[in-house]
Structure 1
Amino acid sequence: MVFTDIEGSTVLLRRLGDSYLEALEGHRRILRAVWREYDGIEQGTEGDSFFVVFPTAAGAVGATVEGQRRLAGHEWPGGERLRVRMGIHTGTPGISDGDYWGMDVHRAARVAAAAHGGQVILSATTGELIRQALPDGAVLRDLGTHHLKDIPEPERLFQVTVLGLEEEFPPPRTLGTATSLPVPATALLGREADLVRLGELVRQPDVRLVSLVGPGGAGKTRLGIAVAAGAIKQFPGGAYFVPLADAVSEEVMWSSIAEGLDVPPRERTPARLTAYLAQRTLLLVLDNLEQVDGADRVVAQILDRAPQVKVVATSRRPLGLVAERQHLVMPLDPGSAAVELFVQRATAVQPDFSPDLAIVREICERLDGLPLAIELCAPRIRVLSLEELLDRIDDPLDIASTSRVTPDRHRTLRDTIAWSYDLLSPEHQRVFRRLAVFSGGADLAAITAIATDSADPLDAVAELHDANLITVTQGAPTRVAFLQTIAQYAGEKLAATDESEALCAAHAAYYADLGAGLRGLRESRHGTALERVETELGNFRAALSWATTADVAQGIRLCAALSWLWILTGDVPEGRRWHEDVLARAGTAYRSADLAACRRGLSNLLLVQGEVQRALSEASKALELSRSLDDRAGVVWAMSLVGTAQRHHGELDAARQTLTEGLELHRQLNDDNGRLARLLGNLAGIEEELGRHDRAEALLRESLAVLNKIGDAHESAIQGQNLAYLLAQTGRVEEADTLARGLIPTVLSLGSPSLTMAFSNTMMTILARQGDAVAAARLFGAEEAMGERLAIPNPYLAEELDEASGLVAAVINPEDWQAHRRYGRAERVEDLLARLTIAAEGAKESYDLGRPGG
């Protein structure tokens, strides 16, 4: 789809007067000739604009390149030059009465609107399709990721530069490049010289890594953000801020970088993420690296595999890489910027503050100009005079004097925090210490249960917030957190008491209970449960880390409660590591229902990773243990996993026998829940493979009836798509199509990579059976590429490809099928599914999942 129009046509009309019509006709004549030569079909012409569609991306690009050449070579009335902007996007719009419509048309128009006169801009889809098939004399330039008006998701744009014509244009007319830099609430003070030097470093082509090193509290993070904001125009792919205060390993660091770039969870492996970065020109601000074991290896891989990416890192110590350029972040000048910062923060809490600048300057000198020390000190002007503040700094814990006798600025910061800590009452000091047990913050309910001796923690939280020792984020619920350096100090204080171990035990027990509660909640309120899990991931990790070594029984209980979350968040390797570590430490000393649940969780994680034999072994061990404990519910769960593993191993008869026995045992429990629904669905899959389609359909409908009753949207989508696939396989294609299209909004909203891929395969089968070979081929290619990106093996790929090719053999030749399959590999499965949602809501309302026979 190509959109074009004349830039500045109104101004041109005023200058040319009656001659404007001659120019307009010449413009139309030139472009219409080009459209015809390249098989373009004109869809609309209004004034000086065109909307033209082409059968191929190469044809569309060829036409615009030739069009710009002919426009540039034409003699226009009055010696003027017509500057025509052009935009191209490739997609599958809807067609009604010969007119094209839908989001792809809007996207194409927005791409064109981003261009300048004489410029040709392409969407990401078009750019990838023609990268290796550009016309002679044309080159492709990456313009980065931009936000287009009225389009929610960012779009990567490319420019087709026509050699011999204008090559340099202003930035695209968009809402801006994609970025995730925080917007500071106050101005950066006293860093002018730093910004000049760092700006020069970042602009140098051979500088790939700039590390801001220095003491905690010196303002490295704030400076790093400012450097990125000042350099963003030279990075078409944008600048991204990645906070790593909670990261302790390479694995979590990779995951955090992916989150900062908004990369899907299943694409967070180092190889996939560096491949993603290798295609982009962007700036990464990696904040707080000193505590990450292996941070140097992560940064080295990014620099090695993504040549257009630059990194600004903040850390208390250098990374030690050859490519590293270090910049020491010193404290603020106590005589100017530090004073200005103190006055700014004091005025914020006391608007009528009238400072004695000489005393303020002396306070700032005693604080060594450390921004964090000033941030902690200045708000106390609400309760202390300047003279009293100065007197307190002269105490034995005097921050400035300590700093003057030692170069260890970390010690200086600790003393700064200690001074603020000493201003607290004993009760508030106790709460402050106890808050160190949390990782990534906590809500008031958790603080009440673990960190306070009273039923209401608000007084303590308010006092700590006033002292700038914590941050409070209002929401549902309100969340309390530490800055990184203050959390370390609180941890030291807690470790020095005799309540540290008891507090860690209470923390682990609380979050084990929370995990178990969320495991039950996910059946009826999947989105709420997943959101809460992601918020509390730091606490779950902290609880597991302590319990794995200090209380194996609690570690087993935590793994039993949390096995489901690793699949939903996409952190399967991490979840597997926790399970394997706990089970190794448990040995043969523990025999409990929680241990069986832990083994079932590991089995499920292994199945996701395609390790079927090990998954079967763990499930079998869980089954044996549950039987010995006379835990009938645990036996049913284990049999469901054993049967599933047997199916993946090709043992269909054994799987059918296992799952049938498990179903019969579950019916004796007289409990309609998610376990029953999964058993029914698993057994239906076996019956389908054995050709017992009527039995499979009955089982799936019973499963859906149970799920509808308990409100499990996630599992309903899984079993619903299984039913749609079965209906398609048995020739009830329209019935399957109605059901599947009605499920699309739910599947997209859940955001589960494994569900999305399975559903796309079902939808592809339906499209192929309907004769829509192009849509089926593209969806197949997109799903295939997604599986490769996420390292999710598909053992049935060759079989599915043969089946799909056979279904469309009568309507498309093999070469075109393969071509569209390749095109699909450049598209997102989610985007292709979203285009199929026309009338989906109506289909969802009209189709009764529990009604047999359609």
Structure 2
Amino acid sequence: MQCRRGVPAVQVYGLAPDGTAAMTVAKGPSTKRRPRWFSTWRDPVVETGGVGGGLPAGTVSMVFTDIEGSTMLLRRLGEQYLEALKEHRGILRAVWEEYGGIELGTEGDSFFVVFPTADSAVGAAVEGQRRLAGNRWPGGERLRVRMGIHTGTPGVYEDDYWGMDVHLAARIAGSAHGGQVVISAATGDVARLPQGASLRDLGMHHLKDIPEPEHLFQVTVAGLDQEFPPPRTVGMASSLPVPANPLLGRDPDLVRLTGLIREPEIRLVTLTGPGGAGKTRLAMSVAAELTNQFPGGVYFVPLAAVTSEQVMWTSIAEVLDVPPRERSPARLASYLAHRSLLLVLDNLEQVDGGAAVVAQIIERAPQVEVIATSRRPLGLMAEHQHPVMPLDAVAEDSPAVQLFVQRVQAVQPRFTLGPANVADVVAICRHLDGLPLAIELCAPRVRVLSVSELLGRIDQRLDIASTSSVTPDRQRTLRDTIAWSYELLSPEHRRIFRRLAVFSGGADLAAITAVACDASDPLDAVAELNDANLITISEGPEGRSRIGLLQTIRQYAGDELEETAEADAVRAAHASYYTGVAENLQALRESRHNTALDLAESELDNFRAALTWSISADIPTSRRLCVALGWAWLMAGYIAESRRWHEQVVAQTAHPSADLASCLRGLGNLLLLQGETDQAHEVALRSLEMSRALDDRPGIAYALTLLGTALRQQGDVHAAERTLEEALELHRHLEDKSRLARVLGNLGGVEEELDRLERAEALLRESIGLYEVLGDVYEAAVQGQNLAFLLVVAGRVAEAGELVRELARTILAMGSPSLTLAFANTAMNILIREGDPVGAAHLFGAEEAMGERLEIANPYLEEELEEAVALINGVMSRQEWEDHRRAGRSMRVEELLGRL
């Protein structure tokens, strides 16, 4: 230790830079000035007294340095440590002198040097680090020196400096790591960097004993170490929790939110979304990205346990470490008015008056910005909402699946995603709606269950409890999370929310009015539930709003509904309403086929729910639904499912009714499509007998039409002709022109098989004419393609080709799988006769594969195959045909038809 001449020896106790206790003892006079800062400058003790002067006053730049880990270095080097220390001092003193520095103190391995300019201080530090890095040290060691620089106006007393600027410079040096140069914003603002140096923003930091946070920068030097741990400070000027896991699937959200916060005119952004969607986690990540944007810091304020306005003010004050005397709302607002900071206010939905607190902050603290998380918007004019949606869960590389795998591997490190389990994992994530909380609750169960077993127990997802001991009570289970939002609703809105559980796949406002609301207008209730993020709103057919529930939330609503006495009544109202919808759509399809089909497909899940309930609870309603929906299942391509519903309905009772007879006919049609002709014949006879017993003339006519078609497919063409002629005679005395047109078409097909082509054409053209008058575009197209096939049979291939190309766009626009298949068969027969065997083979294979996928049988497949092979004889070999046919199986029928 070196002392100033004439100053008595003293003992100074403190903390050495490496954290060990230190005592320095002044042993006698020296020609070097002894500073008030010893090697203990991390916890300085200022010595008073002394004489002298001549130091530069005003603005100066102060540099503090010391060797990182000097005690450990001493232990490793032993006596060689003195040699290293001497070289270290020699290198740095030479640099200080070159750059005009005034060495105020050297204590052990530390320096305190003052420079007249920031340029010279930074230049000296950079050059010093370069020379230290290039030196060969004893024992092959690497001596690493940390340096801190601050520019200020310290006071001058005798021949030394004093004041907070000196303390700040020392604290900045104490925040650095070996080999690193850290400077204050004051230095960074005025210093011109030497060549090869640049600044890296380290953000706002709290330094020990310094009341205000300091903005720190690293001087990065080309060719030297540039990556260092975070600065050794009391902490960043923030109170953000450190997330345990990386954020997944939120990159677009991060980009949008950080962009919003950076907009000067945007002061409040609210992250809304259902419980467990990940609002808090996303808000923390956004705030972390913005730490360096706010000189006053970034602060996270948890409010889940807060219910009142006053307690919210207190919670904010506690996080900001505001003195107790400044914690009244008025004083705290005044305190915030002079600070530039970001507040993350987490879980605001239950705070009574929470929006008022935010409004006051926005109004009275112009440099404060707010990120709020809430299950409902705050409703403030300054608010910008950002809905936080569940994670995408559609495929194995989706964020939801990645999160599931990440959480499983946290408890079962050997777990991998592979062909054996990927489908189950994706299914689990879909069942959990991609909700991060739901995934985080379920995934750890893979410790004791296989993925497939977990999928089998997914209906218990609401009650799977967190395995973490620190999970908030409101998120211990998914049920707790949803209940948190549910309990905040009024009794009326709870009742409507419960009733929404009966809807499957969403509903429009008309349905909600009829089934779930006691009032005539559900708009207020829907708005409240949407604000609470308990429902989703999307655009349905014809631009109508569609209200839905996530599966997890719907399960909760259903459980709550079952606890009431109104569950059966609500489900009955739902089934009755959707039976009416189905019957209206059945009537609409003749004039507006595509619209009716779009509307029907949007409600298929509700039809399924209504059928499921009514089959066991209301047989008459189930029959009406079955009758009304037959066309929709067929047009949408759900042949096998439609058959299952028909079979369940007709199995309930044998009590005769017109609806049951109609269900039997619908079942018979489906059996014919699937090639089960004998069963279809039996069902048609049963329907005919029932209609005759009921003296239901229309039913008798319809049943005869079905029976005649079944007879035709059984090969009894003459019996089919007699039966269909009888059906035609009955239909000509009925008012149902659509049914008449249909039997005309069916009889035309039989006449074609009997080689009565002129009559067949006349019947088909009469059928088409009736449908055109009725405006039934779909059925007109059906009979149009039948006519095209008849023209092929009659050898009028050119006419057939022209008709098919006219019909192609209309039929493809219909989107009916059964019609598309029939049309493809007709087009294939035309192509092969027009001299395009390759196109015909491709279409044959594509049609064949499509029929298999839809479980629609082609009873004439073998016959058509042999006819095709005969037609290509001499043009293409059988093997070439088969090759092209196989290639066609991987093609889409619609795409091939689009090329006609």
TM-score of the superposed pair, with normalisation by structure 1: 0.53
**Map of 1:86-125 to 2, 5 A cutoff?**
none
Is the CA contact 1:286–1:314 (under 8 Å) kept in the aligned structure 2?
no
Structure-2 separation of matches of 1:624 and 1:183: 66
Please name the residue that 2:218 is paired with: none
Please name the residue that 1:604 is paired with: 669
Please name the residue that 2:632 is paired with: 565
What is the aligned counterpart of 2:427 among 271, 286, 291? 286
Alignment CA distance shift 1:822-1:734 (3 Å): same
**Map of 1:746-765 to 2, 5 A cutoff?**
746-765=810-829
- For 2:799, the aligned partner's letter is E
Aligned length: 498
Structure-1 separation of matches of 2:250 and 2:721: 55
Please name the residue that 2:552 is paired with: 485
224-233 vs 550-559, which deviates more? 224-233
Please name the residue that 1:805 is paired with: 869
Deviations 1:722-742 (A, max 9, x none): 100101111111111100111
Is the CA contact 2:741–2:767 (under 8 Å) kept in the aligned structure 1?
yes
Please name the residue that 1:635 is paired with: 700
Is the CA contact 1:287–1:313 (under 8 Å) kept in the aligned structure 2?
no
Please name the residue that 2:537 is paired with: 472
Please name the residue that 1:419 is paired with: 487
Please name the residue that 1:228 is paired with: 397
Structure-2 separation of matches of 1:824 and 1:540: 36
Is the CA contact 1:289–1:313 (under 8 Å) kept in the aligned structure 2?
no
Is 1:496 the counterpart of 2:563? The answer is yes
Q: Which protein is bigger by CA-based radius of gyration? A: 2
Q: CA deviation at 1:780?
A: 2.1
Q: CA deviation at 1:323?
A: 7.7
What is the aligned counterpart of 1:781 among 845, 858, 864? 845
Please name the residue that 2:574 is paired with: 507
Q: CA deviation at 1:419?
A: 1.9
Alignment CA distance shift 1:630-1:497 (3 Å): same
What is the aligned counterpart of 1:614 among 653, 673, 679? 679
- For 2:616, the aligned partner's letter is T
What is the aligned counterpart of 2:804 among 721, 740, 745? 740
Deviations 1:123-173 (A, max 9, x none): xxxxxxxxxxxxxxxxxxxxxxxxxxxxxxxxxxxxxxxxxxxxxxxxxxx
Alignment CA distance shift 1:317-1:547 (3 Å): farther
Structure-1 separation of matches of 2:595 and 2:442: 34
Is 1:718 the counterpart of 2:887? The answer is no
Structure-2 separation of matches of 1:455 and 1:189: 35
**Map of 1:136-215 to 2, 5 A cutoff?**
none
**Map of 1:8-27 to 2, 5 A cutoff?**
none
Deviations 1:594-629 (A, max 9, x none): 111111111112222221111111121111112222
Structure-2 separation of matches of 1:443 and 1:658: 45
What is the aligned counterpart of 1:436 among 501, 508, 514? 501
Corresponding residue SS for 2:555: helix
**Map of 1:791-802 to 2, 5 A cutoff?**
791-802=855-866
Please name the residue that 1:698 is paired with: 762
Structure-1 separation of matches of 2:496 and 2:453: 41
Alignment CA distance shift 1:550-1:791 (3 Å): closer
Is 1:534 the counterpart of 2:703? The answer is no
Structure-2 separation of matches of 1:825 and 1:225: 26
Q: CA deviation at 1:747?
A: 2.0
Corresponding residue SS for 1:286: helix
Alignment CA distance shift 1:317-1:509 (3 Å): farther
- For 1:657, the aligned partner's letter is R
Alignment CA distance shift 1:723-1:624 (3 Å): same
Structure-2 separation of matches of 1:564 and 1:757: 16
Please name the residue that 2:833 is paired with: 769
Is the CA contact 2:707–2:723 (under 8 Å) kept in the aligned structure 1?
yes
- For 2:770, the aligned partner's letter is V
Q: CA deviation at 1:755?
A: 1.8
Structure-2 separation of matches of 1:185 and 1:535: 29
Please name the residue that 2:891 is paired with: 827
Please name the residue that 1:666 is paired with: 731
Structure-2 separation of matches of 1:226 and 1:823: 28
- For 1:514, the aligned partner's letter is V
Please name the residue that 2:208 is paired with: none
Q: CA deviation at 1:763?
A: 1.1
Structure-1 separation of matches of 2:441 and 2:637: 26
Alignment CA distance shift 1:575-1:333 (3 Å): same
The CA RMSD measured in Å over matched residues stands at 3.9
Please name the residue that 1:5 is paired with: none
Please name the residue that 1:647 is paired with: 712
Is the CA contact 1:644–1:682 (under 8 Å) kept in the aligned structure 2?
yes
567-576 vs 527-536, which deviates more? 567-576
Alignment CA distance shift 1:629-1:184 (3 Å): farther
Structure-1 separation of matches of 2:723 and 2:660: 22
Structure-2 separation of matches of 1:552 and 1:706: 35
Structure-1 separation of matches of 2:280 and 2:425: 24
Structure 1 runs (4+) deviating above 6 angstroms are 181-184, 189-192, 230-233, 281-284, 289-292, 311-317, 322-335
Deviations 1:800-837 (A, max 9, x none): 1222222232544444434433433332222221111x
Is 1:625 the counterpart of 2:690? The answer is yes
Deviations 1:84-142 (A, max 9, x none): xxxxxxxxxxxxxxxxxxxxxxxxxxxxxxxxxxxxxxxxxxxxxxxxxxxxxxxxxxx
Structure-2 separation of matches of 1:571 and 1:768: 31
Q: CA deviation at 1:289?
A: 6.6
- For 1:680, the aligned partner's letter is L
Structure showing greater relative contact order (alpha-carbon pairs closer than 8 Å, 6 or more residues apart): 1
325-334 vs 455-464, which deviates more? 325-334
Is the CA contact 2:671–2:679 (under 8 Å) kept in the aligned structure 1?
yes
- For 1:683, the aligned partner's letter is L
Is the CA contact 1:417–1:489 (under 8 Å) kept in the aligned structure 2?
no
Please name the residue that 1:169 is paired with: none
Structure-1 separation of matches of 2:828 and 2:884: 13
Structure-2 separation of matches of 1:607 and 1:806: 28
Is the CA contact 1:221–1:314 (under 8 Å) kept in the aligned structure 2?
no
483-492 vs 445-454, which deviates more? 483-492
Return 5+ residue gaps in structure 1 as ranges.
Answer: 1-180, 196-216, 234-238, 240-276, 293-310, 336-364, 371-402, 404-408, 837-854
Please name the residue that 1:552 is paired with: 619
- For 1:629, the aligned partner's letter is L
Please name the residue that 1:523 is paired with: 590
Q: CA deviation at 1:636?
A: 1.7
Deviations 1:282-333 (A, max 9, x none): 99732557699xxxxxxxxxxxxxxxxxx99978976944788999999799
Alignment CA distance shift 1:659-1:322 (3 Å): same
Deviations 1:160-191 (A, max 9, x none): xxxxxxxxxxxxxxxxxxxxx99975786677
Q: CA deviation at 1:794?
A: 2.1
Corresponding residue SS for 1:585: coil
Q: CA deviation at 1:220?
A: 12
Corresponding residue SS for 1:472: strand
Q: CA deviation at 1:366?
A: 5.2
Please name the residue that 1:729 is paired with: 793
Of all paired residues, the percent bearing the same amino acid is 51
Q: CA deviation at 1:643?
A: 0.9
Is the CA contact 1:604–1:615 (under 8 Å) kept in the aligned structure 2?
yes
Alignment CA distance shift 1:412-1:314 (3 Å): closer
Is the CA contact 1:288–1:314 (under 8 Å) kept in the aligned structure 2?
no
